[in-house]
Structure 1
C-alpha cells in the first residue's frame, strides 16, 4: 500500500526534515532538452517566434458535473462572477489560514466542463475537496509523462514571440480575430479544429494551442512548415523551464499543507510521493516559516472577496498586512562568475549554479539579507539570455523592495542536505540588486495587453 504524506512525516519526524532530505531525483521535463542550444532558443521568443511543447510536463484534471463550478468557487480565491465558456484564468487556492496552496491554469471548456492544468499542488487540493466535500462532480486525471502510462490526453503547444500572430494567420489562412488576454478561440489548422488560449509566457504575444493527442503531430507539422518563413525556432525543455524568469511567475512555492486546519485529513489522503523537495539556504524547524501568502508573490490582483472560499477570513487579514512583495533580484556578475570559478580551484567549491535554471529542489527557498539581517526569500534562479543577466525571483519586505536596493542572496546549504541534487559544497553570499518583477520592461508593460 502506498505511503501517505502523513505517514511519511510521522516516519521521519518532521515535515522539514522530510522535504529537505527528500530522495526524489531532480525533475527532468520529458521533452527534448535542446533542439539547437538553449541560449538561441531563449532569444527566439523575443526576436522571432518560438514553438514550445507543453504536452508532457503538466498535470490535467478534467472536472465535470453540476457542482464543478461551485467546487472551484469554494476552493479558489478568484472571482467567478463573470467566468464563462472559452475563458481561462490563473486559479489560486489557499489553506484555511490564508496561506498559498498553489496555482494552475483553469480552462472553461464547456457547460459544467473544466480543465485545471499545471503543477499538482493545487490540483491535488482541488481533487481532495471535490472527493470529500459532497460535490456532484467527476474527475478524470491525466498525470504528466513522468508518471503516466501511455500518451497524454491532449497535445499542448505554445507559440510565442513577435512573429506569433503572423504565423497564426499564415497557418490558418485567415486574420486572427481580436481575442482578449486569457480568452479562447477555435481555429482550423490543416483541416483540424484547434482550440487556442491567448496569452504569453514571457511577456511576448502568444497562443497556447491544444486538442486531442492523436491530432497533435499533424498540427505541429503544419506549424513548423508555415513557420519557416517567420524564423520559427523549436524550443527544448532547458530554455522552456527558464521562461518564467522573464514573466516573473514563481512556478512552485511550497504549499501550505503541512499544518493548519483541515490539512491532517488531506495529508492522509495525499501520497508521500507528492510531497516534493525543499532546497536552499533558508532553514527553520517550523514548516510554517516557509509558507507564503498570495500577496508575497504578486497574486493580490487575482484575489476577490466577492464569494466565500476556503481561507477567506484569514486572507482578508493578510490583505490588511501585506509585508512583502515580489521582485526580481539581479545577481552580481563577478560573484556569479566567482561561484562558477570555484569549481576550477582547489578546495570545497560553491554550490553548483546550473544554467539556465539553477533551482535544485522543487521548492527553492534561499535567504535574502540586507546589512546582515533577513529581509526576504529568493525563489527560482537562472539566466536570461535576452537581458544577459542572472536573476532570481524573490519575496522581499516592502521597505527593501525599491528598485536599486542592494541585498545579498545566501547560496548553498549549511549543513549540506542528503538530496540527490546536492553535492558537497560551501555556502556563499552573492550580492544582488532589487529590480521590478517582471524584469523585462516589455513584459511589465505588455504581458496582459497583447
Structure 2
C-alpha cells in the first residue's frame, strides 16, 4: 500500500527534512532531449518558429457535470464572471492562508466541460476536492507519459515564434481568424478540425493545437510540411525546459500543503511520492518560510474578490500589505565561469551547473542576499542562448527589486543533502544583477500586455 504524504511527514518528523532528502527528481519532458541542438532550438522561437510537443510531460484533469464550474470557482483566485466556452485562463489556487498551492491552464471546452492541464500540484488539489466534496462533477485524470500506461488522451503541439501565423495560414489556406489572447478557435488542418488556444510560452506569437491522440501524427506531419519554408524547428526537452526563463513563469514553487492542520485530510489522501523534492541554498527548518503568495510571483493581476474561494479572506489581508516582486536575476558571467571551471581544478568543486537548465530538484529555492542580508529567493535557473545569459527567476523584498540592483545568489547546499542528484560540493556566492521579469522585451511589452487585458483571466 502506498504511503500517504501525512504518513511520510510523521515518519520524517519535518517537512523540510522529508523534501530535502527526497530522491524525487525534477519533472522531465519525456521527449527527445534534442532534435538538432538546444542552442539552435532556443533561437527558433525568436527568429522563426518552434514546434514544442506538450503531449507527454503534463497531467490532464477532465471535469464534467453541472457542478464543475462551481467546484473550480471555489478553488481559484481567478474570476469566473466572464469565462464562456472556448476560453482558457491561468488557474491559480491557494490554501486557507492565501499561500500558493500552484497554477495550471484551464480550458472551457464545452458547456459544463473543462480541461485542467499542468504540473500535478493543482491537479491533485482539485481532484481531491472533486472526490471528497459534495459536487455534481465527474473527473478523469490522464497522467503524463512517465506514469501513464499507454498513449495520452490528447495530442498537444505548441507553435511559437514570428512565423507561427504564416504557418497556420498556409495550413488553413487563408487568413488566421482573429482570436484573442487565451481564446480558442478551430482550424481545418489535414482534413481534421483541430482546436487551438492563442497564447505564447516565451513571449512570441503562438498557438497551442490539441485534439484526439489518434489524430496527432497526422497533424504533426502537416505542421512539419507546411512549416518547412518558414523555419519550423522541432524543440527537444532541453530547449523546451528553458522557455519559462524568457517568459518569467516559475513552474514549481513549493506548494503550501505541508503544515496547516486544515489540510491533514488532503495529506492523508495524497500519495507520498507526490510531495516532490527540495533543493538549493535556502535552508530554513520551517517549511512555511518556503511558501509564497500569488503576489510574490506577480499573479496579483489574476486575483479577483468577486466570488468566494478557499483563501479569499487571507488574500484580501495580504493584498493590503507590502509585497515581494518577481524579477529575473542575471548571473555574473565570471562567477558562473568560475563555478563551472571548478570541476577542472583540484579540491572540492562548486555544485554542478547543468546546461541549459540547472535545476536539480522539483522545488529549487536558493538564497538571495544583498549586503549580507537575505532579501529573497531564487528559483529556476539556466542559460538563454538568445541573450547569451545565465539567469534565474526570483522574488525579492520590496525596495530590493529595482532593475540594476546588485545581489548575490548562494549556489549549492550547506550541508550537502542526501538527494541522489547532489554530489559532494562547496557552496559559492554568485553575483547577479536584477532585471525585469519577463526578461525579454517582447514578452514584457506584448505577451504581458495581452495577459493584462485578456478577458476571463
**How do 1:56-75 residues align onto structure 2 when only pairs under 5 Å count?**
56-75=56-75
Q: Per-residue displacement from partner, 1:219-275 (whole Å, max 9, x unpaired)?
A: 000000011110111100100000000000000000000012521110000000100
Alignment correspondent of 1:297: 297
Alignment correspondent of 1:32: 32
For the Cα contact (< 8 Å) 2:368–2:376, is it kept in 1? Answer: yes
For the Cα contact (< 8 Å) 2:26–2:359, is it kept in 1? Answer: no
Q: Per-residue displacement from partner, 1:69-125 (whole Å, max 9, x unpaired)?
A: 000000000000010100000000000000000000000000000000000001100
Aligned-partner Cα distance in 2 for 1:224–1:303: 39
Q: SS in structure 2 opposite 1:148?
A: coil
Q: SS in structure 2 opposite 1:104?
A: strand
Alignment correspondent of 2:3: 3
Aligned-partner Cα distance in 1 for 2:182–2:276: 29
Alignment correspondent of 1:350: 350
Aligned-partner Cα distance in 2 for 1:346–1:137: 61
For the Cα contact (< 8 Å) 2:368–2:377, is it kept in 1? Answer: yes
Structure 1 residues 293, 274: closer, same or farther in 2, change over 3 A? same
For the Cα contact (< 8 Å) 1:381–1:392, is it kept in 2? Answer: yes
For the Cα contact (< 8 Å) 2:25–2:362, is it kept in 1? Answer: no
Q: SS in structure 1 opposite 2:337?
A: helix
Indicate yes or no: 2:96 matched with 1:79. Answer: no
Alignment correspondent of 2:180: 180
Alignment correspondent of 1:334: 334
Alignment correspondent of 1:243: 243
Indicate yes or no: 2:151 matched with 1:151. Answer: yes
Alignment correspondent of 1:321: 321
Q: Per-residue displacement from partner, 1:281-316 (whole Å, max 9, x unpaired)?
A: 001111111000000011100100000100000011
Q: CA deviation at 1:26?
A: 4.7
Aligned-partner Cα distance in 2 for 1:308–1:126: 16
Alignment correspondent of 2:199: 199
Alignment correspondent of 1:228: 228
Alignment correspondent of 1:21: 21
TM-score normalised by the chain length of structure 1:
0.99
Q: CA deviation at 1:27?
A: 3.8
Aligned-partner Cα distance in 1 for 2:179–2:22: 44
Q: SS in structure 1 opposite 2:416?
A: coil
Alignment correspondent of 1:167: 167
For the Cα contact (< 8 Å) 1:26–1:420, is it kept in 2? Answer: no
Aligned-partner Cα distance in 2 for 1:107–1:439: 27
For the Cα contact (< 8 Å) 2:25–2:360, is it kept in 1? Answer: no
For the Cα contact (< 8 Å) 2:246–2:440, is it kept in 1? Answer: yes
Q: SS in structure 2 opposite 1:400?
A: coil
For the Cα contact (< 8 Å) 1:164–1:205, is it kept in 2? Answer: yes
Aligned-partner Cα distance in 2 for 1:152–1:37: 26
Q: Per-residue displacement from partner, 1:124-173 (whole Å, max 9, x unpaired)?
A: 00111111121110000000001000000000000000000000000111
Aligned-partner Cα distance in 2 for 1:365–1:105: 24
93-102 vs 317-326, which deviates more? 317-326
Alignment correspondent of 1:122: 122
Aligned-partner Cα distance in 1 for 2:70–2:292: 26
For the Cα contact (< 8 Å) 1:97–1:261, is it kept in 2? Answer: no
Please list every run of 5 or more consecutive structure 1 residues that lacks an aligned counterpart in the other structure: none
TM-score normalised by the chain length of structure 2:
0.97
